[in-house]
Amino acid sequence: MKIFTWWEGATIGTSLWTARKGEHVGIDAQGNKYYRSKSARDGAPERRWVIYNGANDASRVPAEWHGWLHHSYDELPESHLQPAKIWEVDYTPNATGTAAAYRPAGALERGGHRARATGDYEAWTPDA
């Protein structure tokens, strides 16, 4: 139900407020849409926000848009983006809390058994 849920996109209230007060300024490669306020209040910086395409996860905001959202620069990212480097990889979503999350050997989700300590480890005791 979009009235109360915020974790899967904008609520109806946010959508209405965006339609009335927001000016669409851009979209990133993941489909997230970026907005700024149509009119600024006296002395206050303009408001900037993102409407996610899918789950609301701040790690889905690319670095160039993050800088714009936080007023690091005023120009839109498309106006001064550098070409992608050959070593840069595509975005992968934050896997925390999912089946794809990293679970090292010894984690409870993997049975809770880890390799025995070797001779280079000596347990601390308060009497020693």
| Tens digits of residue pLDDT in 77-105 | 876 677 778 998 887 888 888 888 998 88
Query: Which are the contacts of 102, defined by CB distance < 8 A and separation ≥ 6?
Result: 95
- Does residue 111 belong to any structural domain of this protein? no
Domain coverage including residue 50: 12-79
Asked if the structure places residue 60 within a domain, the reply is: yes
101 in a domain, yes or no? no
Compare 52 and 8 and report the one with higher pLDDT.
52
Q: If you average pLDDT over every residue of the chain, what do you get?
A: 81
Q: Which residues are 27's β-sheet partners?
A: 33
Q: Is 15 exposed, middle or buried (0-12, 13-18, 19+ CB in 10 A)?
A: middle
Tokens of 68: 């714009």
pLDDT at 45 over 70: yes
- Number of structural domains, the chain? 1
34 has a pLDDT exceeding 90: yes
Among candidates 12, 10, 19, 61, which has minimal Cα distance to 38? 19
Are 19 and 39 a contacting pair, CB within 8 Å?
no
Domain presence at residue 98: no
Asked whether the beta carbons of 70 and 77 are under 8 A apart, the reply is no
Say what the pLDDT of residue 25 is.
92
Reading the block at residue 75, the tokens are 């120009």
Q: How far apart are alpha carbons 2 and 14 in whole angstroms? A: 10
Structural domain contains residue 122: no
Place 115 in a pLDDT band, splitting at 50, 70 and 90.
confident
123 inside domain? no
In a domain, 128, yes or no: no
Does the residue 1 lie in any domain? Answer: no
Please tell me whether the overall predicted TM-score, pTM, comes out greater than 0.95 for this model: no
